[in-house]
Amino acid sequence: MATLAPIATAPLERLHDTWEARPGLYGILATVDHKTIGKRYLVTSLIFLVLGGIEALIMRAQLTHANAHLLSPGAYDQLFTMHGITMIFWYASPVLSGFSNYIWPLMLGSRDMAYPRVNALSYWTFLASGIFIYTALCIGQAPNAGWFAYAPMTLRPFDPGLNMDFYALGLIFLTVSTTIGAINFIGTVMKMRAPGMSLNRLPIFVYGTMTASFAAVFSLPALTVATTYLYFERHFHMHFFDAAQGGSPLLWQHLFWMFGHPWVYIIVLPAMGMVSEMVPTFCRRPLVAYPYVAMSTIATGIIGFGVWVHHMFATGLPGVSMSFFSGASIIIAIPSAIAVFAWIATMWLGTPVWKTPMMFVAGFVVRFVIGGVSGVVTAAVPFDWQVTDTYFVVAHIHYVLIGINVFPVVAAFYYWMPKMTGRMMSETLGKWNFWTMFIGFNLGFFPMHISGLLGMPRRVYTYPASAGWGSVNLITTIGSAVFAVGVLLFVINIFVSLRRGAFAGSNPWHAGTLEWAMESPPPPYNFAVIPIIRSRLPLWEDQLGDETPGMIPGEGHSHVSEGVVLAEGRETFGTSPLEAHPLHVLHMPEDSMFPFLLAVAMLGTAYGLVFSLWWLAILGGIGMLACLIGWLWPRHLVTGERA
Amino acid sequence: MTSVAYDRTIQLGGEGRAPGWWAMVWTIATEAALFGFLLFSFFYLGSQSRSAWPPDGPLKLTLSLPNTILLILSSIAYMWGERGIRAGNQERLRLGLFIAFILGLAFIIIQGIEWSKQPFGAGDGAFGSLFYTITGFHGAHVIIGLCMNVLVQIWAARGTFTRESHLALTNAGMYWHFVDIVWLFVFSSLYISPRLG
């Protein structure tokens, strides 16, 4: 047992020097600051969003009318596959990691994530894997079998180029990034909270990312196994998916969807969590049914592991098995509905303030209901048989992913950008941004339900005029162009705000959570003193008093500006997983080049494996080993001092 | 926000695991899931197979059973060494780690012989592909565990570890025990389960 006395004034200069990255190239490559890493994640994933969007627009141009020949069938295959994997893997999850990375320590009252160097590695591998997969597009051999890449058409006899090798290795590479990122989030939520921030005081956003991280830890290995089999089958003449040799194409489908369905929740639960932060702020009251929303988040994550077969209803599985998965897929709507009702009740009982983030949030709720309903109906086997592999499913996935991911993400940019840059985004441009995106989205994607019901299959590069799908496709293309203008307005608004935005101050939205306690942008050390938390909304305690949710009578109020300093090096508290009792003072690692170098070595190995340059693969492997040894080497053996 | 001065001292509990320990726990969790999916593939394709599974009858236990015992002994040796440092005994730690390393190395060499003696190759049907992939994944994990063991031995020789502070040792040990336990699942699935059918 040790005790630490509080200090009245924090030595801010010393804290600043301790936590700031060094200037110059070394600082850029070696920094482990979660705020820098978070911003890099956000910018990089927005670039992927734009790339994936351009690919979609080219496809829409091709589909505008019947018998168009803008693209060859082969080019179209590459475009829809790249569009799918870019959006699903290199945009939707990393953008949420970006917000979590930036916001979590601020929200949790910590000075960093649990594993800062792992955090840096997670970003560098994300970037390197993105460069790797886009190399394929640059040399004209991009993945071309759809984002879920069903065997046997992905096998070498049917797809002889490097296309699917890039797919397999690129996804394994990205999996490394996502897995270590998830472990970092779990470690952070278990150890890095401000004293007193017990589980019942955690923001829902933290619950969202935490659940997504647990799901990632247990589901991503299925993708790794499947893509490893694919690479082995294509390169070393092994047999996993080839029915003639005792394999089974359905093995791919099982493994892919055992990963794939939890992945859906990985890319929506943190976004729903962000919504649960914004709704109370803009409705001026605490979230209704907080415990139920927290529990339904976790329940969704768990049930998400038991629904994968609903992607495989058309493969001839036994009826009993389909009934079970159909039932589970209908049940999973219940926890999502709990969250929706909680948001609506919060708006109903509160006083909504219609700032841009709130408009995007409300638009999201509408979309979530439509996407949810089209999901529940396809959970019914007979209906699924009717619409499987048609544009109805394409409409569903876009309502879900744009509705539940893109809209909350744009809302979150409007909401948290002022914290990151210190400047507000334009409200006027924001309203234009919202209405163009909202109208464009519905105009573009709602007709896809109809083209699907009319029988238009997905992934066809063109269609005959006699099919009668011309007008719905024309409307879809116009809608997607309007939507793209909306995204453009959003990007313009970011740049305008960086140059000319009004100064934000520490808490422009008068929000109640901890990330609004410090100045904007936050100093390198986040908190001058480590706060002590006594409620769920520490910054609303003045207004709500003893009614603040999560407050225990007699325990007193939160302390945000007075507390323990911890300034002997990079220090913060390590706390207990449930109650967040302070257990020890953690000495956080210094900046390091090893994460960057390790990612470069991995990129070398990936290129070596895809081009069958074995010397390069082995060289990369040796480089990885060397980086890991250097990374793990105890500091005192180098410096001669004992920690 | 609040003007009440903070006038108490913080009590530090001191108990509880370090963040690094949790990192290893969740790394092991995701690795365990990886082997779970590998073995799922094995049982799934086995259940769908219309020919004999394995094609040439159950695999021989001549080498694999003693090899399994070697790996268990290696884990026990590591544990024995780690108990040593908890009592402050550096010599016992070094000896335990060394024995664990030799036994692990013996396992991987015998595994190589086992590979060379199989009547089928990796390209001969789904069973062969799965056998070499699953045991190959496991072998790679053994080699990573051995690399960790070498590092920990170097640090032990330099007196890095003390009775109170030896997280790297604990983590490498947890990983080594995981590699050992997961082998029991791999062995039971690949070698034993076809004998039960």
Residues of B in contact with A242 (CB under 8 A): 126
The answer as to whether A121 is a domain residue is no
Assigned domain for A253 exists: no
Min distance B154 CA to chain A CA atoms (Å):
10
From CA A571, how far away is CA B196, in angstroms rounded?
Answer: 56
How far away is chain B from the Cα of A368, in angstroms, using its nearest Cα? 31
Highest mean pLDDT: which of A615-619, A635-639, B117-121, B163-167?
A615-619
Please provide the size of chain B in residues: 197
User: Is A528 part of any domain?
Assistant: no
Say whether both A417 and A290 belong to one domain. Answer: yes
Residues on chain A touching B31 (C-beta within 8 angstroms): 221
Rounded Cα gap, residues A508 and A422, in angstroms: 10
Q: Which one-letter amino acid corresponds to residue A53?
A: G
Question: What does the alpha-carbon distance between residue A462 and residue A73 come to, in Å, rounded to a whole number?
Answer: 8
Choosing among A225, A627, A631, which should be mutated to test the B contact, i.e. which has the most B CBs within 10 A?
A225
Domain-embedded: residue A224: no
d(CA B10, nearest CA chain A) in Å:
5
Tell me the C-alpha distance between A601 and A608, whole Å. Answer: 10
Q: Is residue A32 in a domain?
A: no
A489 and A631 inside one domain: no
Enumerate residue ranges in chain A where pLDDT < 50.
1, 642-643
Which of B6, B19, B123 shows the shortest C-beta gap to A6? B6
CB pairs under 8 A between A and B: 180
Question: Does the pLDDT at position B176 exceed 60?
Answer: yes
- The CATH number given to whatever domain includes residue A498 is 1.20.210.10
A290 lies in some domain: yes
Best mutation target among B7, B9, B37 (most A Cβ atoms within 10 Å) is: B37
Instruction: Enter the tokens of residue A357.
Output: 């983030």
What is the helix (H) or strand (E) element at residue A186, kind and residue range? helix A163-191
Would you say the C-alpha torsion A265, A271, A276, A277 has a positive or negative sign? positive
Asked if the C-beta of A328 comes within 8 angstroms of chain B's C-beta atoms, the answer is: no
- Annotated domain spans of chain B: 60-196
CA distance A352 to A335: 24
Identify whether residues A514 and A623 lie together within a single domain.
no
For residue A582, list its beta bridge partners: A575
Q: Which residues of A touch B130 (CB under 8 A)?
A: 240
**Sequential DSSP letters for A508-561:** TT---SGGGSS-SSPPTTS-SSEEE--SS-GGGHHHHGGGSTT--TTS---EEE
Distance from CA of A246 to the nearest CA of B (A): 5
Sign of CA dihedral A489, A493, A495, A500: positive
Query: Which one is predicted more confidently, B3 or A165?
Result: A165
| Coil vs helix vs strand at A562 | strand
User: In angstroms, how far is CA A260 from the centroid of its own chain?
Assistant: 14
Q: How far apart, in whole angstroms, are the C-alpha atoms of residue A93 and residue A96?
A: 5
Q: Is-contact A117 A195, C-beta < 8 A? A: no
Q: Assign 3-class secondary structure to A449-478.
A: HHHHHCCCECCCCCCCHHHCCHHHHHHHHH
Residue length of chain A: 643
Are A272 and A414 members of one domain?
yes
Quick one: tokens of B131? 């056998």
Give me the residues of A, 15-54, that contact B with CB < 8 A: none
Question: Which pLDDT value is given to residue A3?
Answer: 53
Q: How many domains does chain A have?
A: 2
Question: Are both A507 and A599 inside the same structural domain?
Answer: no
Q: Residue A320: its pLDDT value, please?
A: 87
SS3 state of residue A240: coil
| pLDDT recorded at residue A554 | 84
Q: Which residues contact B171 (CB under 8 A, 6 or more apart)?
A: B20, B21, B23, B24
A584 lies within 8 A of chain B by CB: yes
Q: Is B6 close to A217, i.e. CB distance below 8 A?
A: no
- The more confidently predicted of residues A373 and B175 is B175
Q: Tell me what pLDDT residue A402 has.
A: 93
Q: Are residues A440 and A356 in the same domain?
A: yes
Question: Does the residue A381 lie in any domain?
Answer: yes
The pLDDT value recorded for residue B14 is 64
Q: Which domain holds residue A391?
A: 268-520
A510 and A599 share one domain: no
The pLDDT of residue A355: 96
Spatial separation of the C-alpha atoms in residues B93 and A172, rounded to whole Å: 37
Question: Looking at this predicted complex, what is its ipTM?
Answer: 0.94
* Segment B67-104, tens digit of pLDDT: 999 999 999 999 999 999 999 899 999 999 999 999 99
CB contact under 8 A, A583 and B15: yes
A contacts of B5 (beta carbons < 8 Å): 562
Residue B193 has pLDDT above 50, yes or no: yes
| Confidence class for position B7, pLDDT limits 50, 70, 90 | very low
Burial A609-628 (b: 16+ CB within 10 A, else e): bbeeeeebbeebeebbeebb
Domain final residue pick, A476, A499, A520: A520
CA distance B99 to chain A (A): 22
Does the distance separating the beta carbons of B1 and A541 come in below 8 Å? yes
Question: Considering Cα of B16, then B17, then B22, then B23, what sign does the dihedral take?
Answer: positive
Residues A476 and A618 in one domain: no
Per-residue pLDDT, A286: 96
* Residues A268, A335: Cα–Cα separation, whole Å: 13
- Check residue B55 and give its pLDDT: 87
CATH assignment, B60-196: 1.20.120.80
Domain boundary among A461, A493, A520: A520
Helix (H, G, I), strand (E, B) or coil at A91: helix
Chosen domain end from A459, A485, A520: A520
Residue A405 lies in a domain: yes
The reported pLDDT for the residue numbered A257 is 96
More confident residue, B187 or A7: B187
Predicted local confidence at residue A642, as pLDDT: 45
